[in-house]
Amino acid sequence: MSEKLWGGRFSKTTDKMVNDFQQSISFDKRMYREDIAGSIAHATMLAECGIISEKDRNDIVNGLKRILTQIENGQFDFSMELEDIHMNIEKRLTDAIGEAGGRLHTARSRNDQVALDTHMYVRRETVDVMRLIRDMQQALLDVAKKNQDTIMPGYTHMQRAQPILFSHHLMAYFSMFARDYERFLGVYKRADIMPLGAGALAGTTFPIDRTSVAKQLGFGSIYTNSMDAVSDRDYIMEFLSAASILMVHLSRISEETITWCTREFSFIELDDAHCTGSSMMPQKKNPDVSELVRGKTGRVIGHLMAMLTTVKGLPLAYNKDLQEDKEGLFDAIDTVKFSLAVYAEILRGMKVNREVMKRAVTEDFSNATDLADYLAKKGLPFREAHAVSGKAVHYCIEQGKWLEDLSEDEFKALSPLFDKDIKDVIRPETCVKNRNSYGGTSGKQQQMQFTEAEHILDREKQYLLEREEKQISIN
Ligand code: ARG
């Protein structure tokens, strides 16, 4: 006889290959805490509603707590034959406490059970991801504050465009990660809906109390429709989508780090502890971490595509295809958390070569816009001012000079509107200082960004505390 919990209507045991193919225990065992917490809440509710006795409930709860200890001490033998985490735990419980264990699954299906576990799991991991995003933002702010006066070229088309503050560049990422954080707040909200009580698909004939389960497990709301509760995986798609966007941001900063630490740029140097060498070329110091973060981004995006594709053609309600929601999700969670944690360290450890950055704006034409703006402020239409500045650049290239090298006479020859204050206007420091429009790169705007960033970090901390409080604890 098979030890399967659904073995009743079968006269043959399951084919070995089918067992191996359909099992999920090899990966869903990481939801054991959620499964146990969910079962404790379910059993508690069943007793509250008079569906099982108080004694049965106590036996179940104590038995589940013993199983939790066994799993955490590595003494639990997970069985492939028992398919998934839900049946592994239920079977072990029934072996240990007898009949009461057999009552645990009253008014419940694995369909709403797995939905419950995954919601709780995503909710917990989302809080972790939010915490790590915030750490990353803190690292960016710290490094930015240390480099308040560091000037570098800003690029468009990978060509030097206008002088900017290095801190302005870093704070651009701070803002992107702030929005990532908000996206995960949204993910949290959708993972915070309680599906249990949906049964297999249509609800249950037992007089259950879904509000009690939701309350015990700290859920913000309850699925209104039982078929929706067991069928949709949109909260997982949302997690993967928020994770993909986050990884794209991480990938871009990785790409920039890789460029900046090339010999050609030499804008930064990564800490030795964060780089690796080559087995053949003794001189090499490679930015592998940045390359891997960039590389792993494709993998997370792939998981999003897989999830969307898996669900797109599925009829309601549960189909086994939905078991495919987990491996990609788990891998995305691990990848995102690891990438965030390691990248904050990369940023904190890097050395900024201020002089090299500065040289890149002094020996350059990235102040040409400022020349044009100067003339436009004196009344020349910007289009014409643009042309004069373009001519000035052309003249300099022919003469082997930079704009700052031109004499007053040379400027006057280009346009009578030039006065001697032009010399100061095109200094990189002035170019930066004068870009004082809201959100611009000036030092003043930067201070405002820093203040705003502190507010954002405070607010994010508050959100974290509120959500950490709601995390389940089994005691
Ligand atoms: N391991 C399954 C999953 O992850 C649990 C739900 C199984 N339900 C079923 N009717 N076979 O989706």
State the pTM of this model.
0.95
Closest listed residue to residue 41, CA positions, set 214, 241, 257, 184: 214
Q: How much distance in Å is there from the Cα of 111 to the middle of ligand 1? A: 6
pLDDT grade for 472, boundaries at 50, 70 and 90: confident
Q: Please tell me the residue having the least CA distance from ligand 1 atom 11.
A: 320
Read off the pLDDT of each residue in 458-464 and give the average, rounded to a whole number.
98
CB atoms within 10 A of CB 274: 20
Q: Is the pLDDT of residue 1 over 60?
A: no
pLDDT grade for 287, boundaries at 50, 70 and 90: very high
What is the percent of the chain where pLDDT is above 70?
A: 100
Name the residues annotated as catalytic: 157, 278
Asked if residue 323 has its Cβ within 6 Å of ligand 1, the reply is yes
pLDDT for the residue 280: 87
Of 389-403, 437-451, 459-473, minimum mean pLDDT range: 459-473
Q: Is the pLDDT of residue 400 over 90?
A: yes
More confident residue, 16 or 303: 303
pLDDT tens track for 146-178: 999 999 999 999 999 999 999 999 999 999 999
Q: Please tell me the residue having the least CA distance from ligand 1 atom 4.
A: 323
Closest listed residue to residue 271, CA positions, set 247, 288, 292: 288
Q: Is the pLDDT of residue 78 over 80?
A: yes
Asked if residue 111 has its Cβ within 6 Å of ligand 1, the reply is yes
More confident residue, 412 or 6: 412
Helical segments of 285-381, H only? 288-312, 325-349, 354-362, 368-377
CB atoms within 10 A of CB 237: 19
Pocket test for ligand 1, best of 5, 85, 87, 114 (most atoms within 8 A of CB): 114
Read off the pLDDT of each residue in 81-106 and give the average, rounded to a whole number.
97
Q: How much distance in Å is there from the Cα of 22 to the middle of ligand 1? A: 9
pLDDT grade for 296, boundaries at 50, 70 and 90: very high
Pocket test for ligand 1, best of 78, 83, 84, 329 (most atoms within 8 A of CB): 84
Q: How much distance in Å is there from the Cα of 114 to the middle of ligand 1? A: 7
Q: How much distance in Å is there from the Cα of 214 to the middle of ligand 1? A: 21
Asked if residue 322 has its Cβ within 6 Å of ligand 1, the reply is yes
pLDDT for the residue 466: 95
The owner of tokens 């020996």 is: 363
What is the percent of the chain where pLDDT is above 90?
A: 92
Token pair recorded at residue 351: 């050395």
Q: How much distance in Å is there from the Cα of 320 to the middle of ligand 1? A: 6
Q: Is the pLDDT of residue 404 over 60?
A: yes
Do 217 and 41 meet the contact criterion of CB atoms below 8 Å apart?
yes
> What is the spatial distance between Cα 129 and Cα 334, in angstroms, rounded to a whole number?
10
Q: How much distance in Å is there from the Cα of 55 to the middle of ligand 1? A: 29
> What is the spatial distance between Cα 34 and Cα 461, in angstroms, rounded to a whole number?
25
Helix (H) or strand (E) holding 351: strand 351-352
3-state secondary structure of 473: coil
Token pair recorded at residue 233: 């995986």
Closest listed residue to residue 235, CA positions, set 279, 193, 174: 193
Q: Is the pLDDT of residue 461 over 70?
A: yes
Q: Is the pLDDT of residue 3 over 80?
A: no
Mean pLDDT of the chain: 96
Asked if residue 290 has its Cβ within 6 Å of ligand 1, the reply is no
Asked if residue 116 has its Cβ within 6 Å of ligand 1, the reply is no
> What is the spatial distance between Cα 468 and Cα 126, in angstroms, rounded to a whole number?
11
> What is the spatial distance between Cα 452 and Cα 360, in angstroms, rounded to a whole number?
30
Query: For every residue of 433-464, which 3-state class applies, written as one string?
Result: HHCCCCCCCCHHHHHHHHHHHHHHHHHHHHHH
pLDDT tens track for 175-233: 999 999 999 999 999 999 999 999 999 999 999 999 999 999 999 999 999 999 999 99
Token pair recorded at residue 379: 């009344």
Of 310-319, 433-442, 462-471, minimum mean pLDDT range: 462-471
Asked if residue 24 has its Cβ within 6 Å of ligand 1, the reply is yes
Kindly report whether the peptide bond that precedes residue 214 is cis, defined as omega within 30 degrees of 0: no
Q: Please tell me the residue having the least CA distance from ligand 1 atom 2.
A: 323
Q: Is the pLDDT of residue 312 over 90?
A: yes
pLDDT for the residue 5: 84
Distance of CA 32 to the CA centre of its chain: 24
